[in-house]
Chains A and B, each alone.
Chain A
Amino acid sequence: DQQVKQNSPSLSVQEGRISILNCDYTNSMFDYFLWYKKYPAEGPTFLISISSIKDKNEDGRFTVFLNKSAKHLSLHIVPSQPGDSAVYFCAASARGGATNKLIFGTGTLLAVQP
């Protein structure tokens, strides 16, 4: 059972435009959500997170939106740059656990065209 889903395996965007990466989850106990960026042959790099008490968190060009009723979150990158081309993973965890266990989606490959 895939508790965190990224239904778009790939996305292509023109440089300077907005990139929108989507993620859905099924477990209503999840209350902490993260986005990671991964280049080939490297480990994932933490980008941005959001707690369920918020519906938006912004950090520079990156904004994460959370819609708890729809169990949906999205990552917006504005403006997109060629260096943003990578695989993006969303992840979720449930508060109250002692382990900070993250459940990851399968990733979306973003290609930003110059």
Chain B
Amino acid sequence: SQTIHQWPATLVQPVGSPLSLECTVEGTSNPNLYWYRQAAGRGLQLLFYSVGIGQISSEVPQNLSASRPQDRQFILSSKKLLLSDSGFYLCAWSRQVNQPQHFGDGTRLSIL
């Protein structure tokens, strides 16, 4: 069966510090991969998606970047965090278009 792992579960970072969140998927190959953010009281907003190694598309302009160095690894990064980057970050995968996306347990990021 397929599993998705995200870490860390919680993270507290000072403003201006770098960020690296990692997501890995097991049990499938060539998945579509996604990074979402959920701000307080809001729905999930798609940040990045990837259909293959090295292929990244950004949905919204922001202070974050994503990379996919391996088939089942997706990384969310920032060089300098802003207060507005606080939120709940979720990684997800799907097999194909119009197939359900399956989410990891998320990372709660707090910026101080």
Point out residues on A near B: beta carbons under 8 Å.
4, 32, 34, 36, 41-46, 49, 51, 89, 91, 93, 95, 97-102, 104-107
Known A44-B103, A106-B41: A32·B49 in contact at CB below 8 Å = no
Which chain B residue shows the least CB distance to A36?
B103
Which chain B residue shows the least CB distance to A6?
B43
Tell me if B98 and A100 are in contact (CB < 8 A): yes
Tell me if A100 and B105 are in contact (CB < 8 A): no
Listed A/B pairs (25) with beta-carbon separation below 8 Å: A4-B43, A41-B105, A41-B108, A43-B6, A43-B90, A43-B92, A43-B106, A44-B90, A46-B100, A46-B101, A51-B98, A89-B44, A95-B97, A98-B51, A98-B97, A99-B51, A99-B57, A99-B97, A100-B98, A100-B99, A100-B101, A101-B59, A102-B101, A104-B43, A106-B42
- Chain B residues lying within 8 Å of A101, measured Cβ to Cβ, are 46, 49, 59
Bound Cα distance A90, B46 (Å):
14
Bound Cα distance A93, B51 (Å):
16
Does B96 have its Cβ within 8 Å of any Cβ on chain A?
yes
- Chain A residues lying within 8 Å of B80, measured Cβ to Cβ, are none
Point out residues on B near A: beta carbons under 8 Å.
6, 9, 32, 41-46, 49, 51, 57, 59, 90, 92, 94, 96-106, 108
Tell me if B102 and A46 are in contact (CB < 8 A): yes
A7 to chain B minimum Cβ distance, whole angstroms, is: 13
Extra 7 A-B pairs, beta carbons < 8 Å, given A42-B105, A101-B46, A102-B101: A42-B106, A44-B90, A46-B101, A49-B100, A97-B97, A98-B97, A99-B97
Tell me if B99 and A43 are in contact (CB < 8 A): no
- Chain B residues lying within 8 Å of A99, measured Cβ to Cβ, are 32, 49, 51, 57, 97
- Chain B residues lying within 8 Å of A105, measured Cβ to Cβ, are 43
Which chain A residue shows the least CB distance to B108?
A41
